[in-house]
Amino acid sequence: MGWKKNDQLRQDAPSAPFFTGIGFLFLLTSIFFVNFLGRIVLSPLLPEVEADLNLSHAEAGSLFLVISAGYFISLVGSSFFSARFCHRHTLMISGCAVGAALIGVSASPGYASMGSALFFVGLGAGLYLPSAIVMITTTFHQNHWGKALAVHELAPNIGFVAAPLLAEGVMYSFSWRAVFFFLGAASLVQAGLVFQFARGGDFCGEPPRLSSFKTILSSPSFWLMVFLFSLGISGTLGLFAMLPVFLVNGHGFERASANGVVALSRVAGAVMVFFGGWLTDRLGPKRVLMMVFFLSGCATLFIGLAPSAYVVIPIFIQPVIAVCFFPAGFAILSQTSSPDLRNLVVSVTVPLAFLTGGGLIPTLIGTLGEIASFQLAFVFVALFIAGGGFISVFLPSAEASRRS
């Protein structure tokens, strides 16, 4: 039975109370939390990983590109995968793949083996999100979608705060390898819980038509949005990935202090993303994007130029601004894509942007930190992000988007 039919059945049914499905929602949110942590926890561990495996800054930064490459491939191909396997089985396969790969990372003796294991972490993680969204929207009535998706989206926002704290907590008694091992074991347990308790998602997705990909890839507005989303992800995940090693090697912070600063700097982001949504409704997404890119770029510039005594200040300011990109970004993305292609546009735009912002940008920061300085790397990325404010001028207005 296809997704549309199941979804229609759900929407025609009487609206059940939201809390009847809360246990299932918490299970999915916990899976997303571990899935996300598995992809970002390398950041607070990077100083230790560099020392233990004798990696250069460029090699360390490129590990994020490896994760992003695996994530990109599986997220783009997830619709084909879920068309062959049901959504519940896709979640189980994703959990097992991520768990086994993370345990593989914990046993890696060098750069090549660690890179290979991290590629499979990304590959397994990318299968999760599309099927999880389908399962949420077919488990809850449409009246409860906003609440259910908001709960689910807490996972990455809390993950940014939890990753440095988890890393330091585990490394107090164990090595960095134990962090990956514990997360891998948790992912395997969650896959078992999905098998045992999840009862939704026993249907396959609809495979996308190749002609739809051709239509999307030939659109200039699509590539403009890929570029802008790359900047948005650069200002959040891209900088987060390299901040601990920047503070340790560029400003002489102790590793624990650096991770504490990075964790605390992300607390306000979970609240500010709602402010970004309100601001988007008030001013329009185009204006919000112009402001966010310019202000986030300026804050990133100050991170690169500030002396050690004051560098913490822009580190706290920058993520508060940067997270406001996403409500406006997804609003613009929806405006510039037709309803019948909207879900496919999102599934192609996000992984391409993630590959750039979450992969190439950390690699660039690590490389420039190796051959020049981390300060120069952050200045370069700041100019890159601020440039998005000028590029946003070329976005179509809401009225023009509706006419097209």
Question: Are 291 and 159 in a shared domain?
Answer: no
The Cα 129–Cα 380 span in angstroms is: 32
**pLDDT at 278 (0 to 100):** 80
Question: What domain range is 139 assigned to?
Answer: 1-207
Query: Among the three residues 179, 207, 235, which one is the final residue of a domain in this structure?
Result: 207
Low-confidence residues in the chain, pLDDT < 70:
1-21, 82-83, 141-147, 149-150, 197-208, 334, 337-343, 396-404
Q: What is the pLDDT of residue 277?
A: 76
Predicted confidence at residue 340, as pLDDT, reads 56
Tell me, what's the pLDDT at 333?
A: 77
Give the domain-ending residue among 173, 191, 207: 207
Residues 190 and 217 in one domain: no
Indicate if 148 and 253 belong to the same structural domain.
Answer: no
Task: Check whether residue 116 and residue 150 sit in a common domain.
Answer: yes
Same domain, 38 and 137: yes
**Do 180 and 91 fall into the same domain?**
yes
Q: What is the pLDDT of residue 119?
A: 96
Residue 363 and residue 220 share a domain: yes
Residue 385's CATH number? 1.20.1250.20
Same domain as 187, residue 173: yes
- Amino acid 401: pLDDT: 47
**What domain count does the chain have?**
2
Q: Does 215 lie in the same domain as 197? A: no
174 and 231 in a single domain? The answer is no
Domain boundary among the residues 207, 234, 268 is at: 207
Type of residue found at 209: R
Give the Å distances, CA to CA, from 67 to 21, 36, 77, 101, 363.
32, 11, 16, 11, 11
**Is 109 in the same domain as 46?**
yes
User: Do 266 and 138 lie in a common domain?
Assistant: no
